[in-house]
Structure 1
Amino acid sequence: MKKKKNLFRQIKHSFQVKVLISILFPVIIICIVSNLVISGVLGFQLLKKKEAIEKEYISVIEAYMEDAQKNLNILALLADNNSSVQWVMKRAYMDSVETKKYALDAQESLQDSLNANPMSGYVKNLFLVNSSGMLISVVSQQSAVRSEQIFLSPLFEEREDSRTAVSRVTDSVIGADRILAYVYPLDAGQDAFMYIEVDTKYFKELLEPYQDSANVLIRSLGSNGDIWYSSQKFEAEYLRYGEKRYIADSVPFVPFDIEISTMLERNIYTADNLLVLYVFLAAAATVICVGFTVSRMISRRITGPLRQVSNHIGAMIDQDHLFTDETIEMGEDEIAEIGRAFNRLVRHINDLIFRQKVMYEQKQRLEMNALQAQINPHFLYNTLDSIRWMAIIQNAHNIEGTVMSLENLLRNMAKGTGDKITLREELSLAQDYVNLQQVRYMEIFDYICKIPDEYMDYTIVKMTMQPVIENAIFHGIEPTGTYGEIRVAVCSEGEDLFISIEDNGIGMDEAELRDILKKKPGKNSMSGIGISNVNERLKMTYGSKYGLIYEAKKGCFTRVIIHIPKERKGEEGANV
């Protein structure tokens, strides 16, 4: 019984239930009213849908018209840029063999262009003509055509711009057919033109796909008013009743001086449907008013807690320290849960800020220690160079190698320890350090490092391996008093790199391991960087998931694994 009561209480205070009530109440009323008026509105909606569909029909036909215009323009531009056409159109007569040769070349070239053009099946006549009497016939339905016939076309008088193509539905200058005439002025001179006559069957074929689905017509805007219909049935009805029976939606296509129209029957609009529409609008207005009033009453119970959360967030904008507000957690609905989650987020952010501050202070201490440990480098390098040359002169090659290793180490340490270098360079530094220690601890340990070349170009924080190797010598191998080995190996897993440094010295238990990690670097430490500092540097550089991994067994071995992400020069990024 108590569980049922708690469940009912949760449902009662649920934010989702409040929202559902505020939405469903007006929606239910709207659905009831809509079912009463849907039959009247349906006809109106169908009409609008059909209008939208037939607008798409017009768009498709208009697109085909634009393609036709582009294809005619392409044909004209090819002629305009043809050298033979340009040469011939500057002449008046076929008065030489050269002129006839160029005219034949121009005719053949334009015939090839026409055959490749999508409008070739509709072109009835195509001529190149100038006002001086030159005429080249590319396609003609009549064998003997004079230039004077071509200039009888009314398009030459209608041209307003001497450099623009013009096209109209008009009478053919060759026969008695109605055609789509096209005139284009050539660049060879304003008195030279390309004249094309296109068969009007092109318009009929454009309308054939719509003969069973829509009433579409194409009308010439010229004086004769030629009309092409999508079907014979539509043509008979249109001629019988005229435009009074239809609602026309027309789009002019100016380049061809025509108009594309779709015709919808007016009988869809009835007085009853309009009356029902008015009733629906009045009922919808009433429902909206009632729904708004009810929703307003309910929303006050919802927006109040949300406003409280918003005010709390706004109050923290200008504060240096984020703070929680226990009042936003009051309640048992989803808004209260948001308040509790927000307070948890604030506490987490404050914790991150504190940790970031601690890490910053640690970084400052490390940088200060590095500054305090610096000495005049040039004096030291010059002295070491002098010792090395003395060793070379005296053939003391061991001393020469030891001095060289020491000089390399000191030069790299003087540059700082925060930079990233390649694994190849880090291994070279480690080898220099091992060379020095092998001079000090002769015949005590061996250093084995076999790393595949595929890992050598990945980057690592400089002076990461040296403190680990130093720790393996002093705390692993030296206390045994016997010969030992230090092995270095590398492997990868996904986007991470693991560098293992293992010694077979005395090993250690967990207590000894904790002491080593807490111990600061001693006076004999070469770099002054302890194991714990290495771990901190890696976490500060790559993120908390990276650092050192320790494995040890008393009397057997100690293994330190350096865990870093795979990075190459130029690809370094922040790791979280």
Structure 2
Amino acid sequence: MKKKNLSARFIGRFRSIQSVIFATVAILVLSAVVIVTGVSMRFTNTSIFENSSQYTQTIIQQMNQNIDSYIDYMENIAYLISSNEDVQDYLFSDEIDSEGRYRILKQFETILDSRSDIRNVGIISKSGRMLINNGSKSVNHDLDLNTQEWYTQALNSPEGPTLTSSHVQHIISGERPWVITLSRGIRDRSGSGEKEGVFFIDLNYSAISGLCDQSTVGTKGYAFILDAKGNIVYHPQQQQLYNELQTENISLIMDTDDDTVLTGTGNNGKLYSISRSDKTGWTVVDCTNVRELLSKSRQAQSIYVLTAVVLVIVALLFSRFMARSITLPIQKLRDSMKKVQEGDFSVSDVVVDSRNEIGSLTKSFDVMTRRIQELMEQNVHEQEQKRKSELKALQSQINPHFLYNTLDSIIWMAEGKKNEEVVLMTASLARLLRQSISNEDEVVPIANEVEYARGYLTIQKMRYKDKLEFQIEVDPSILHIPLIKLVLQPIIENAIYHGLKYKESKGLLIIKGFPKDGNAVLQVIDDGVGMDEETLAHIYDRHKVNYHSNGVGVYNVQKRLKLYYGEDYGITYESAPGEGTTATITIPGRQED
């Protein structure tokens, strides 16, 4: 009976959270020592290999990006030169313009002087015309271009430039440099689509080697590059490879889909990390010596085991204290969280005398609950204020723009001593300004907006005289529908600047309004010169239009309409060169306050 009571007391002690934490920590840490000692010896190598692979992958991916950016830059140079008018004239004109030839050579000389990584730059036509570098060096006319990969690929490639592997360039007499050639076919400008010439840039071998030398891991690691066919573009021991003094398992690298490949056995093995470029088709490979990785592995194992032993001792000494310090704060925090879970966000000031993570967590919990309660109360009010502020800010951009254009017209007439017209336009402007600022509401009936547009058109008609006529045809059934202020005027101004201003004969602008499918529709129609697809595509973009196109006004109106009515409403444009333009504004026909 006595033994039974002792057992019950012993078991009962371990029902408390303090005892459970102490016993759990002790068992887990002691178990960790055994597990770490046995397992680390087996798996540390794998960990080192994986970490090294990940690190190397990051490096060679960055190097691949650097190479892509470098090739992008060279492709831009190739595009600019091949599309140059002087180059086109030189290749395709029957007569050779000496001044054009001089400008081309001068441009080549500038490229060579500013870029030490470029060895040669030139253009070659099918007819045999050549301009290389600055023209001072003798061209190897005995070279059969049809045997040169960079030349034939450029002519046969359907699109874009081509990139060769490293090779010896023979284009300049007496020079045999190792280069990588970027070449681009030049199409006949007659429109036949045939390539009648080639522009090429020879990149110094050192340009690529400089990028690769920064990507090695360890003292014996190195990087090399293969092209899409498995040919070596760059290798630090390239001459030794050609002399078969060194080998690389290129077939394995090209055939694998993995990011890493391990070859060889034991300390003599190699770890290949692979990154492929979709742009160039090149494969960047980093080769790491396995012997170096294993030496790091043994050091890591020793440190890991020693650290585990120290952690066991520290854990046993402080596990009791940890259990006591954790229990009370957790219990108090748990009670408060239950109240929050039930929807009571008034919980605050949970008293926890603790300066560790639990104490910090408790204080953060208090701050969080108070902040949530405040945010819930402020959210609706702030959202409404934000919407109103954005509308006011957008609306405030319109008046100065319109005022500038109108005052510019008044100044123009005043300089022409048209005093009566100045007085009439100034009076009309004053009426418009009074109308635009007389109502502080952000919306007005469509009738008010139409009258505002009528006044604006009256001013513009005075400015353009017999070049502008306008008509207003608005269904009375929609005149009462609310519309945000200053919508029609920017669209009308845009119609004048885009269409009617450049029309040689008198232009007509029509404002229509009618109900449709439960919506109210307003249209601004002009019979001006219209807009091409590019201008029409950027009509809403305030960054891609000039000042006189009133892109700011159209962007402003579109932004305000969608902000106020939603994404289903706003402005749409229909236009074509010579066919006029129609701007259609759609808003809800029934609106709730």
Larger radius of gyration: 1
Fold agreement, TM-score > 0.5: no
Q: Normalization by structure 1: what TM-score?
A: 0.40
